Structure 1
Amino acid sequence: MAGPGSSHQINNSNWRQIVTSLYRDALTQTYCVPPVNFNKVSYVRGTVPGTGHSALVLHPPSGAAPVHNVPPVSQRPVPPSRYSLWTQESQPQAIPDRVQESDFRDDFAQNHVMVNLQELGNHRHEVMFILSQLSFGNYLNQPAYAAATAQLPRPSQLDTKKTKYSDGEADFVLIHRQHGILIGELKSVGKSPAGAQNPQPPADADVAKRVTKAVKQLDRSETVVRHLVSDVAPGLTVRKTLFLPYVSTEQLERVLDNDPQLEKAVCQSLGAANVEEAVQLCCCSDQLFQPASYWEVTPAVLSQLSTWWQHRMACTVDTLLTDDKYLDIVARFVGPATTVSVPCYNGVRVEVRTAGQAVAELGRRLALLVLTLQQLDLMNRNPRLVCLTGPPGTG
């Protein structure tokens, strides 16, 4: 891989070599970048009293049901010598912004859709890169490659006083070797809380509200993506879709039928002639594997997902893309000049662009000592004795 010192000498051939070294089957397989979805989680870091061990304390999401009898770490009305997570020598760090309950739903939905898209790509032997949670502010933002990318299109060139495109994010951007680019906006409306009994479908008004927002986000993302690839493949096909994994096609069609203004906006954004066609171009719960059945790839669901893909992407072939242009575009979005990051427990973001890096980061996180508030409360009680019971083999 070219190093920072040679950044000013990088040309298209160098970029392609970098991509094919990171993704050896880039012209024959489906890749997800990042390769796995890392959820957002709030922690407070400190030292377990009496042990000297560093630990992370898991904070429940804001809006979740309160943990009974265990007050938040920062609000414990008891002497620090008993209930403080930190020793006298280690003062607590500032508690980061707590993850919202909606973040949990969005993370779950993001992983749900990503797994389905990867299964679809593998089943159909599609040649594409599935980029998730693409932040436009991270595009070509590495200082070491500033000289090499100085003349390339950037999101900030589109910024106005009213709209700052460089602050935007696309939930999914699919770069396909034959069919061009697909931009997908995901809405987790309808996702029931974990453990909910008899989950109910979302209200039509909630679906309409989320779809209205999604259409505006899709149109902004399309503007940015078209600009970013304009020097490589002017006129490249860029399509859009809505991912609604917990909304049925029947409900979506009903929502659009009952709201003429929203119907018009969705049809215009997706390039559909009518409501029926617009719904076919969206990916709803009917076309997706359910989270509990990822390991059961049923032919029926694969057929539904393939039908959606045929309507949305595989209907035409984009003749503008050659192998070299495809790799050039991929290199712009996932190459070393662009930051490909995932959320981290301490608020910063770490780069994970390959499966090997994902395994390394996962191993690093699994090596950390993580406690829940209930476990912390138990460890701080006097006397510090615990009796663990269970059937044979559970130890």
Structure 2
Amino acid sequence: MPKKRKRKRTHGGDRQASETEDSDTSLSSSQEQHARTTRDPTQAGPSNPQGSGQDHDLLRNVIQALKKQVTDWYPLLKDRTYFLPPVFMARIQRSQKMIGRKSVLVNEPPEKLAKKAFVLEKDVREDKAHIKVLSCLEKLPQNEVMFVISKLQFYDYLGDPQYKHVAFRRANDAQSPYRDDGDFDILIIHKKYGIMAAEIKAVGDNAEELGESPGKRDNNLVKRIDKAITQMQRCKDVLEYLVSNGNETPRILTTLMLPNISDSDLQRVLAGKIETREMLCEILGVNTNQNPIDLCLTADDLKNPTNWWQRLEASSGEDPAMSDSVYLDLVSRFGGPATIVTVPAVNIVSNKHSRSKTIKIPLHTRGNGVAECAKRVAPPLSEIVLNRRQVDILENRKEKMVYLTGPPGTGKTLVVIIKALDWLSEGKAVQVVSSVPEGEAAAHMVFHEVSESAGSEAEEKIKLHHFDLRGEEHVNSAAEVLVKEAENGELYIIADEMGRNFGTVCALMKHRVQELNVWAASIYHKCIPSDMTKEALTEALRTTPRITGEVSSSGHMSHQDDVYKYKANPISPPPCEGPLTISIIHDKDEGHSGKATYDCYECGEKVASTLRELHVEESGVTLNYRKVFVLTAGHALHEGNGDSSDGASGTSASGFLQGLTRTGIPARVLTEGATKEEKKEVATMTGPDQVVVAECRMVSGLERPVVVWVQGDLTSKDEHDGRLHAISRCTSQLIWVRRR
């Protein structure tokens, strides 16, 4: 048994935090008044019955309030698994930089040494290991009902200040076995099997990079296991103190998670370290004649953790102390509003070195997680975040004709926006051009962002032009219009979502303008005009790995090769992995109407219900209706078989749209025939707070935190186009409506 080490007491105020927001649940005024006058909470509580009746009344009332909030947050708590935080946030750092007159943030790699103490390489390795474990747990069968909490600090359990005088047991009580800082890597509250504390070790992730000898590598693994055993014992002791109530206490289990180590390597190393093996058996609760590795999660279990999980279940059996009421009580305390959810802040590197910070925010619900993910991955364009490749292009490319290409979400639009601002700062007149109807919305967005950033002094120096270059006569007229905008023989053009024929327009203008400057962007790399310099951006910047994984399966990238593939940055991690995709299945055997998803009333109803579960609401603090796209690929949701009309457009509404709107979700339909003002409102997220329903090409270049893709036909073209043009619009939560 690892020995307990005595710890010095530290105070909660010493812990690092950048900001705290009020919890969604607060004490009533009478409870708050009593909380100010009640004595030391460690003197009364469930395990200390000599406390006053008033103390017990307060405690009972608070517990009921916590349970009510938890059942509101997690309506299917008794039937499905929940994760807290709902979206895992990685540790990242950014630096501030001026490009021209525009202040931007730049993603920076982690530090090797702690002298700057921002984000270290070991932090990134730990986060990667944690993500592997969470992704593995997400693969467990749906009937495993549990509540999974990541990186819960001991002091944050029931640590909200407004609950500090309520008589709960806490980690910093005088009687607590450990009063120092500490945390649970993974804490699993299972409806049947009790509580499990899991310790994660990232050992093995950088073995090849370090070039260590096999012997040194094995010794390092043993050291990590020994440390993990000590930490597992500590977590177990703290949990036993926190949940003990004088009656039957829920079972406390522990496990070791080594996502970068194989079963065979772990078996080989432990075979030569008898003492470590025996201590591991003891903390896992198995006999020394059993194999402790069976209860450890290793790299071999990541793709299919079912066998590992079944071995855990068989080893412990169901916990007789667990029941629906006990499960609700535990989740209310560990996952309710009184417990603080802490996620890493985005650290801004400056000359004034400061320690890496954490941020305390209300992040209990999936909707909160979706909003926070979108905020970190794709912040407002007024707060531009770049990577080093983009900075290099902006600072070092002196070519006048530049074509930016790469898959969706790689920040091409950011580069052209900053280039436009750079030209405006030099007193140049800038022309923002859309060359195809499906590029109009993106042009509105670019024009809006450039105008807002440049200010009123540049108002007369920037113009927006919409062209439809699908005919030769339009090509010539577009060239005529733009040539007239030249000043002193100079013409400066931004063309996001550039169409094929705009290269011909540029060729016509080049002979008539002394100095032609064009910075254009498109996802397609096979239609680059010969006189333009190609710059490829392939690192995902404004979307999550989950979304890029879906987009990468599009035939445009995997087979046709007309769009470059994503390339991951091995050094700088993404801000978060992103939430799991929510699937809604169109199934006629389940009573769904309509032949296809886009004409199914029940599918529309299910999407509406899902949006409500995400707490998407009118003028919502985290997610409002404007932040949602409902998209199809080649199918119009407003064209249906019914006679009714959707309230937004007055056109015949499909069954899907009827199901969506009749259950209270306000929606507007964006068609190719929409007015410029309507397209502008969608592009700039102004106008009525409504969900935008559109064919995906109508919103090319735009983004939303929540995207509903209504997949139509089960054809490769529909799927490939949908992945490339619809799913790619998503910066956080994808809701996929599909046929079985």
For the criterion TM > 0.5, the same-fold answer is yes
- Given residue 150 of structure 2, which amino acid in structure 1 is its aligned partner? S
CA change 1:321–1:266 in 2 (3 A) is same
Matches within 5 A, 1:21-40: 21-40=72-91
Identity across the alignment (%) = 30
Matches within 5 A, 1:1-395: 2-6=25-29, 8=32, 10-45=61-96, 48-52=98-102, 54-63=103-112, 97-120=117-140, 123-147=141-165, 149=166, 151-157=167-173, 164-192=178-206, 203-231=217-245, 234-274=248-288, 276-289=290-303, 301-312=304-315, 315-346=316-347, 347-351=357-361, 352-365=363-376, 366-367=378-379, 368-381=383-396, 383=398, 387-388=402-403, 390-392=525-527
Structure having greater relative contact order (Cα 8 Å, sep ≥ 6): 1
2: distance between equivalents of 1:27 and 1:277? Answer: 33
2:5 aligns to what?
none
Q: Does the 8 Å CA contact 1:158/1:224 hold for their aligned counterparts? A: no
CA change 1:41–1:2 in 2 (3 A) is closer
CA change 1:381–1:127 in 2 (3 A) is same
Q: What whole-Å deviation, never above 9, does each CA across 1:261-280 have from its counterpart, x for those lacking one?
A: 21221111111212642111
2: distance between equivalents of 1:361 and 1:193? Answer: 33
1: distance between equivalents of 2:137 and 2:174? Answer: 30
CA change 1:348–1:310 in 2 (3 A) is closer
SS of 1:183's equivalent? Answer: strand
Q: Does the 8 Å CA contact 1:42/1:96 hold for their aligned counterparts? A: no
TM-score, normalised on structure 1?
A: 0.78
Q: What whole-Å deviation, never above 9, does each CA across 1:63-94 have from its counterpart, x for those lacking one?
A: 29xxxxxxxxxxxxxxxxxxxxxxxxxxxxxx
How far 1:3 sits from its partner (Å)?
A: 2.6
Q: Does the 8 Å CA contact 2:335/2:364 hold for their aligned counterparts? A: yes
TM-score, normalised on structure 2?
A: 0.43
Moved more, 96-105 or 327-336: 96-105
Pairwise CA RMSD: 3.0
How far 1:302 sits from its partner (Å)?
A: 4.8
Q: What whole-Å deviation, never above 9, does each CA across 1:276-334 have from its counterpart, x for those lacking one?
A: 42111111112221xxxxxxxxxxx354334334345xx41112122222111111111
Q: What whole-Å deviation, never above 9, does each CA across 1:150-179 have from its counterpart, x for those lacking one?
A: x1111012688xx85441011111001111
2: distance between equivalents of 1:302 and 1:378? Answer: 44
SS of 2:173's equivalent? Answer: helix
CA change 1:178–1:199 in 2 (3 A) is farther
How far 1:373 sits from its partner (Å)?
A: 3.7
1:92 aligns to what?
none
SS of 1:349's equivalent? Answer: strand
Q: How many residues align?
A: 342
Q: Does the 8 Å CA contact 2:136/2:302 hold for their aligned counterparts? A: yes
1: distance between equivalents of 2:397 and 2:295? Answer: 61
1: distance between equivalents of 2:27 and 2:181? Answer: 26
Q: What whole-Å deviation, never above 9, does each CA across 1:188-236 have from its counterpart, x for those lacking one?
A: 1111489x7x999992112101101000000001111111111286432
- Given residue 221 of structure 2, which amino acid in structure 1 is its aligned partner? V
How far 1:28 sits from its partner (Å)?
A: 1.0
Q: Does the 8 Å CA contact 2:107/2:388 hold for their aligned counterparts? A: yes
Q: What whole-Å deviation, never above 9, does each CA across 1:356-380 have from its counterpart, x for those lacking one?
A: 0011112222124222344334434
- Given residue 28 of structure 1, which amino acid in structure 2 is its aligned partner? D
2: distance between equivalents of 1:135 and 1:288? Answer: 26
2: distance between equivalents of 1:285 and 1:382? Answer: 44
- 5+ residue gaps in structure 2? 1-23, 33-57, 348-356, 405-524, 528-561, 564-700, 702-740
